[in-house]
Amino acid sequence: MESSVPPTERARFAVAGARANVAAALGSQPRADVTRNNLFAGLLFVSILIALAGLVALLAQAFIDGAPALSTKLITEPPSTIDTANAGFRPALIGSVVMIAFVIGMIVPLGVGAAIYLEEYADSTRWWNRVIELNIQNLAAVPSIIYGILGLGLIVRGPLDLGFILFAGAMTLALLVLPIVIIAAREAIRAVPPSIREGSLALGATQWQTIRRQVLPAAIPGVATGVILAVSRALGETAPLLLVGATVFVTADPMPFDGNYSALPVQIFQYATRPQADFQTLAAAGIILMLVVLIAMNSVAIWLRNRYEQKW
Amino acid sequence: MMEATSIGASGGGRPSLESPGSRRGEKAIKGLLALCGLLSVVTTTAIVVALIGPTISFFGEVSFGEFFSTGWFPTFNPPTFGVFDIVVGTLNVTLWGMVFAIPIGLGAAIYLAEYASPRVRKVVKPILEILAGIPTVAIGFFAVSFLLPIIQDVWPGGFLGGADKPFLAIAAGLGIGLMIVPIIASISEDAMSAVPQGLREGAYAMGATKAKVATRVVFPAALSGIVASIVLGISRAVGETMIVVLAAGSTPNATLNPVESIQAITSFIAVTATGDISQGSITYEAVFAAGTVLFLMTLAMNVISIRLVRRYREVYE
């Protein structure tokens, strides 16, 4: 121990000393440059403020417009065009919840399965695996209404011919959000260090045993976060559902495989397109309802990420 | 591996040390998982199949010459299908959306990557994530009930024909811009953060200010990622439905004028397919033909953006 100052501290002193010397020798930066720098930083900060102001205005407007209609009737009452004071979102809300349940049932096995294949089995130098990868990236950016066309052409009509039922809407949404789950699950699986796998394989476990008992448990928080993000996307999606039947003004509770159905964002859209003030208020109240659900879900995702994230 | 096998062999009586991959069931599991992966290819194929059939029968009745011209009146008698009306409508809202989103998004990205303290970053990034997670129907409602009246009020008199129409392309454009900002900001910030610290330090050592480092060193070095974020943003804007349906109106109109009511490709699809149109009618097929145009436009942009992102990843990571 020659010095009580830790080496990094010493390096910092040395740099500071050198900087002071250089500044003394060369003078400080030209005044114009400094002004320009401050101006630039100010402009950048303003652009962040504008984006934040947009978000704040959006939330404030929904709350102010929707406040008069905020009551439990939003959840318990069906929509109505006559009795707007007692109109709500009940069938649409049930429709959304049932649809989300189906969506989760479909995307978890399919998404995690695809992610395991791509991360653990696929040889990424093979062209077909690269095609799958490129495909998933592209699918994540295909406009949602195109999925609506897919649903209309092949699920509602065409080969599957399910008709305009809730399950058809759920299938369409599942296909739409599947890439999100796959991408998130792949990242979670990739974050599990190879040494975990090697240890398991060295003890004689098969590849599948290694994945099931070592890799997947370690990747669960990441996968769950991805699933929640996917579900919150599915919950807010409107456009594809317009094409696969969630459009009729539904006042009765929906059935999964039979009859008309609606979804929360679609019901909001229907209220929003009516010019009368009562419906605008209902639309805003519906948006509050939807945002509260979404923020709750996202908070769970963030909590999961922070609580169970493993640092290896 | 070789050594382990030979020790196992000399020891005798040990369980088989053959490669674990060959155990029963392992192959079946791999096949099953591969099928899950293949589903994505099936989905893309299904999209193409769903689009192509009705599109072909559409072009059996409507000539290419008519399709690639102006005048989109599918419900008139006789109907005309000049797709330029709705394509330009889409470009209109996209243009005004990007005019808003590119400077704001890039400004936010540069601030977060180069200026912000870790504490500010910790607050601002989740807020941008919240913005990215707002459903577009909510943004559309915001555009039509908040932005639209403000624009109608503050728009100078008869400038560009005046903003007195019930729906305005620029209201939808600003809504779309708000939706795109987090996309541009987060991808560009990733790209700029991936620029090696050494490049910055080199510039600082030469006496450059932060602004010069950001604009002349980091920005050019991250350009492929920044362009990728913008291309992806355009692709999202082109494919956005709810905001344009709610705020831009449904008047086919081949103009880039921000204070006109227009119809975008997506809003045509949404509005038309929502009604009870009979399968096989020319209007039904027009929905798929418009969908094909939309799919090809976004596909081209997605491929470009994926390529660009891959490039900056290859260079710096």
CB spacing of A58 vs B178 below 8 angstroms = yes
Q: Is residue B125 over pLDDT 70? A: yes
A152/chain B closest Cα distance in angstroms:
8
A44 close contact with B: CB closer than 8 A: yes
Contact in structure between A261 and A244 (CB atoms under 8 Å): no
Sign of torsion, CA B10 B15 B16 B20? negative
Are A144 and B239 in contact, with CB atoms under 8 Å apart?
yes
Asked if B214's CB is within 8 angstroms of A40's CB, the reply is: yes
Among B36, B104, B145, select the one facing A47 at the smallest CB separation. Answer: B104
Most A CBs within 10 Å, among B40, B183, B219, B307, to test the A interface: B40
Helices A31-66 & A277-308 angle (0-180, nearest 10): 120
Measured between alpha carbons, how far is A211 from A119 in angstroms, rounded to an integer?
11
* Percentage with pLDDT > 90 across chain B: 66
Contacts of A122 (CB under 8 A, 6+ apart): A129, A132, B34, B37
First to last CA, chain A: 32
Mean pLDDT along residues B89-105:
97
CA proximity to A236, closest of A289, A192, A186: A289
Enclosing H/E stretch for B80: strand B80-81
> Own/partner pairs for B20-23, CB < 8 Å, 24+ apart?
B20/A201, B20/A204, B20/A205, B20/A206, B20/A207, B20/A209, B21/A206, B21/A207, B23/A206
- pLDDT attached to residue A27: 61
Q: Which of A28, A48, A208, A225 to mutate to test the interface with B (most CBs of B within 10 A)?
A: A48
DSSP notation for B249-262: -S-------TTS--
- The reported pLDDT for the residue numbered B2 is 42
Give CA–CA dist B141/B179, Å, rounded. Answer: 13
Q: Is A131 on the interface with B (CB under 8 A)?
A: yes
Q: Which residues of A touch B294 (CB under 8 A)?
A: 143, 145-146
Lowest mean pLDDT among A14-18, A233-237, B96-100, B134-138: A14-18
Q: Could you tell me the pLDDT band of residue B13, with boundaries at 50, 70 and 90? A: low
Distance CA A296, CA A300 (A): 6
Q: Is the dihedral of CA A216, A221, A227, A229 positive or negative?
A: negative
pLDDT value of position A307: 78
Helix B282-316, helix B169-193: angle, nearest 10: 20
**Per-residue pLDDT band at B203 (split at 50, 70, 90):** very high
- Per-residue confidence (pLDDT) for residue A305, from 0 to 100: 76
Average pLDDT, chain A: 88
Q: Judge contact between A264 and A75, C-beta under 8 A.
A: no
Mutate to test the interface with A, among B183, B209, B219, B232 (most CBs of A within 10 A): B209
pLDDT of res. B255: 92
Q: What residue spans of A27-89 are helical by DSSP H?
A: 31-66, 73-76
CB-based contact (8 Å) between A150 and chain B?
A: yes
For residue A203, pLDDT beyond 90: yes
Do residues B195 and B316 lie in contact, with contact meaning Cβ atoms separated by under 8 Å?
Answer: yes
- C-alpha gyration radius of chain B: 26
Contact state of A148 with B295 under an 8 Å Cβ cutoff: no
Check residue A211 and give its pLDDT. Answer: 94
Who among B35, B139, B298 is closest to A141 (CB)?
Answer: B298
How much of chain B, in percent, has pLDDT values that exceed 70?
A: 90
Instruction: Supply angle C-alpha B297, A268, A55, rounded to 5.
Output: 70
The answer to whether A157 faces chain B, any CB pair under 8 Å, is yes
Per cent of chain A over pLDDT 70 is: 94
Measure the CA–CA gap between B268 and B274, rounded to whole angstroms: 10
pLDDT of B6? 41
Does B215 score more than 50 pLDDT? Answer: yes
Higher-pLDDT residue of B12, B245: B245
Average pLDDT over residues B105-128: 92
Residues 6+ apart with CB under 8 A from A298: A228, A229, A232, B129, B130, B133
pLDDT at residue B7 in the model? 42
Which residues lie across from A169 on neighbouring strands? none
Q: Which residues of B touch A298 (CB under 8 A)?
A: 129-130, 133
Asked whether residue A57 carries a pLDDT value surpassing 80, the answer given is yes
Regarding the domain delimited by A73-308, which CATH topology (the fold level of the hierarchy) does it fall under? MetI-like fold (1.10.3720)
The per-residue pLDDT for B316 is 66
Cα separation, B214 vs B311, whole angstroms: 20
Interface test with B, best of A146, A216, A294, A297 (most B CBs within 10 A): A146
Q: Is the CB of A191 inside 8 Å of chain B's CB atoms?
A: no
Q: How confident is the model at residue A291 (pLDDT cuts 50, 70, 90)?
A: very high
- pTM attached to this predicted model: 0.87
Task: Tell me the per-residue pLDDT of A208-257, one tens digit each, with 9 for 90 and over.
Answer: 999 999 999 999 988 998 999 999 999 999 999 999 987 767 778 888 88
In this prediction, residues B65-72 reach a mean pLDDT of: 91
Chain B residues whose beta carbon lies within 8 Å of the beta carbon of residue A201: 20
- pLDDT tens sequence across A139-156: 999 999 999 999 999 999
Q: Where are the domains of chain A?
A: 7-69, 73-308
The pLDDT of residue B177 is 97
According to the model, what pLDDT value does residue B314 have? 64
Average pLDDT for B228-248 = 95
Model confidence at A26, pLDDT cuts 50, 70, 90, reads: low
Residue B44: is its pLDDT beyond 70?
yes
**What is the model's pLDDT at position A1?**
45
Tokens of B80: 């005309």
**Residues A138/A147, Cβ–Cβ less than 8 Å:** no
Count of CB pairs separated by less than 8 Å, A with B? 282
Cβ pair B37:A114 closer than 8 A: yes
